[in-house]
Structure formats: structure tokens, C-alpha cells
Structure 1
Amino acid sequence: MCTGGCAKCLGGALIPLTVFGFLANILLFFPGGKVIDHNECLSEEVWFFGGILGSGVLMILPVLVFLSLKESDCCGCCDSERCGNRFAMFASILFAVIGFLGAGYSFVISAFSIQKGSKCLMDNNEWGYPFHNGDYLSDEDLWSKCREPKNVISWNLTLFSILLVTGGILMLLCAFQVVNGLLGTLCGDFQCCGCCGGDGPV
């Protein structure tokens, strides 16, 4: 497969992951599936917009760039002047780095939030974080420390886990495109031109 065609496949794979991350972050504003009267009752990490900004907005440009790099038809691209466009592949590396950083931001925020636990109404009628060092992850009996919102722990844990996984996969895909883009920059679409009977790298 051409390096440009590979990038196009990666761009397509980024789309559903980006959508999942964006939607997961939106749902975090409704803990337990309910509307909260006061925003200060939400976990602080929700306002860091890991899924909206990191895995969402910062992934839009990489997706658009990857999708526009090359037609996936190997032999069809060799008659085009864009075949072996090293500059385009180099630009894709820069956008892949941006996507990697955005996904990394979402990943770190999610991991920190899972470790910290949810903000909720505790037994002393105050809103805060009743858990320490992720102790609630291995002991569900501690979940009773949260009175409101109902099911907030499982809700946040599920959604932040989705953000964690999608962020990790996005990082891997962007890192792969850095390697793919480097090959395209240095060598051109040699496989593409080879399958068309070309003389070699362009």
C-alpha cells in the first residue's frame, strides 16, 4: 500500500474514535445520566475537556490531512503528479504530532481522574473527593461514601475509561503515521510506483 493510502486509512480510523471521545466528554457533564443544578458539583477533570479538546478538536486537522493525502488506489495514483509528494507526507508528520499531543492530553486527564475518583456528596453533606489513590477501584464497598449523584462513580469510571482507551489508540495511530510519514518523506511512494511499473522512488 502507498504511504499516502496508508495515511488515508489511518484518517478513516481516527474518525469514530474522535467521535466516541467527544461524546464521552459531553456525557460527563450529566453524572449518573442526570442534570446537575450546580456546575461546581461536577468533577474538576470534566472541565479540562480531554475528550472535546484533546481527542476532539485537536484531532480534526490530522484527520482532514490524512484523508486528503492520497487515493488508496495504488496504480491509479502513479499517473498523478502527486505521486511521491514528499512535502505532503512531511506535513502529515507535523499534524500527526499535534494529534498525538491532543490524544496524550486526553489520556493523561482520564488516567488522573480515574485514579482520583468522582466528586460527589459525601456523608458530611459536603461535596468532595472521598477516595484516595484509586482505592475505590478494588473495593466497591467504598462507593457507599458517595450519596449523590446516584451511580456517579460507575458513570464517570466508564466514560473516563472510554476516553483513556480511545486516547491510547489515537496516540498509537498518530505515532504510526509519524513513522509512515517519515517513510513517505524519505522514500516517496515507492510501493505505489513499483506496482505501476515505475522506475523507482519518486
Structure 2
Amino acid sequence: MCTRISSRCVIFTLYPLTLISIICNIVLFFPDGDLKYAKDGHITEEVKYMGGLVGGGIMVLLPALYIHKTGTQGCCGNRCKMLLSIALFAEGGAGALYSFIVAGLGLQNGPLCKVILVWSTPFKNSGHSLLTYLAFGLTCTEPNNIVLFNIVLFATLLATSSLQMILCAIQIINGLFGCFCGAR
């Protein structure tokens, strides 16, 4: 059985997921499509952690690029390369996990927004979920639609990082199979 086909499926699925993660994280820096919030430091704290850019982006992209390169050398290379791919995809899984945790915190804590005259995180430690506030219509006065903006982008990061973790786990299993069973 060739592990090459499985590796290709995994990496070609990881590429768009990493791109989505990177784009979501970058877009989160510009609420309402305006640069002034980033300039003034009025950005949600979890955005600054760059879970989508670093964790779900770069940390997942590196092992995918490695497997893509070694896969062109004849079915995943040798057993040492497969062992290295296991370590790299464990690192990629850790990056996806980091992105997942940051996105979850972003959804749990809610956005930094202006409520009347004060910049705060009104949903943090309130005992209510962000979705509850969205349903009840509690709105931040600035930036426009920041609650929905954060929900959509952090939920997208949560979904992509979940898929990335699953794909990294699949590739780790694939690497173990290729390394220890000598599959080509």
C-alpha cells in the first residue's frame, strides 16, 4: 500500500485551510475594514495572539511543504524522512491546536469594542455567551457589526483548525505506517 496517495490528499487539503487561517487572522486586524482600530490598539486581544497566522498558518504549512517536496522524490522518500514527517506533523498539529484554543477564547471572551464611550470587552467574564448577546441585540457602538464580525471569523478559525488537527493526525498515522511497516 502506498502512503503517497494519502499524503497527497492530506497536504492538498491543508493548503487551502492554511490560507483560510492566515486570511481570517489578517482580516481580524481590520474590523469594519478600517485601519484606524489597529493603529489605535483597539483590537481584540485574541487577534494579537495570531493563532490563525502562526498556529494554523505557518506551523501547519511547513510540514505540508516538507511532505509535498519529499513526495516528489518517489513515494515519500525513505523511512527516516517518514519519521521526520511524523515529528513535523506533530508540530503542525500543535500549531492547529494553538489556533483552535485562541479562536475558542476569541469566541468566549468576545470583541473589544466601544460601549457608549468606553472601550472594553463587555462579554468577557459576564457569564453569558457571545451568541446570547448577539440574540438579545446588545450592540457595540464602534466598530460596526464587530460582534458578528468576530463570531464569523473566529468560528471559521475554529473549524479550519479542527480540520487541520484531524489531517495532521491522519498524516502522523500515515507516517507511522510508512515508517514502521515499510509501505511505499
Both structures adopt the same fold (TM-score exceeding 0.5) = yes
| Aligned sequence identity (%) | 36
**Structure ID, larger Rg:** 1
Distance of 1:83 and 1:63 partners within structure 2: 12
How has the CA–CA distance of structure 1 residues 39 and 166 changed in structure 2, closer, same or farther, with 3 Å as cutoff? farther
Residue identity opposite 1:55 in structure 2 = G
How has the CA–CA distance of structure 1 residues 164 and 134 changed in structure 2, closer, same or farther, with 3 Å as cutoff? farther
1:131-154: CA deviations, max 9, x gaps?
A: 124433134254434110011111
Structure 1 equivalent of residue 108 of structure 2: 115
Deviates more, 1:58-67 or 1:19-28: 58-67
How far 1:88 moved relative to its partner?
1.3
Residue identity opposite 2:118 in structure 1 = E
What secondary structure does 2:71 align onto?
coil
Which runs of 4 or more aligned residues in structure 1 lie more than 6 Å from their structure 2 counterparts after TM superposition? none
Structure 2 equivalent of residue 47 of structure 1: 48
Structure 1 equivalent of residue 24 of structure 2: 24
How has the CA–CA distance of structure 1 residues 133 and 33 changed in structure 2, closer, same or farther, with 3 Å as cutoff? farther
Q: 1:96-175 maps to which residues of 2 (within 5 A)?
A: 96-123=89-116, 125-131=117-123, 132-175=126-169
Q: Given the two structures, how large is their TM-score scaled by the length of structure 1?
A: 0.82
Structure 1 unaligned blocks of 5 or more: 193-202
How far 1:118 moved relative to its partner?
0.9
Counterpart contact for 2:70–2:77, Cα < 8 Å: no
Counterpart contact for 2:99–2:158, Cα < 8 Å: yes
Counterpart contact for 2:71–2:77, Cα < 8 Å: no
Distance of 2:34 and 2:149 partners within structure 1: 11
How far 1:58 moved relative to its partner?
1.0
How has the CA–CA distance of structure 1 residues 155 and 84 changed in structure 2, closer, same or farther, with 3 Å as cutoff? closer
Structure 2 unaligned blocks of 5 or more: none
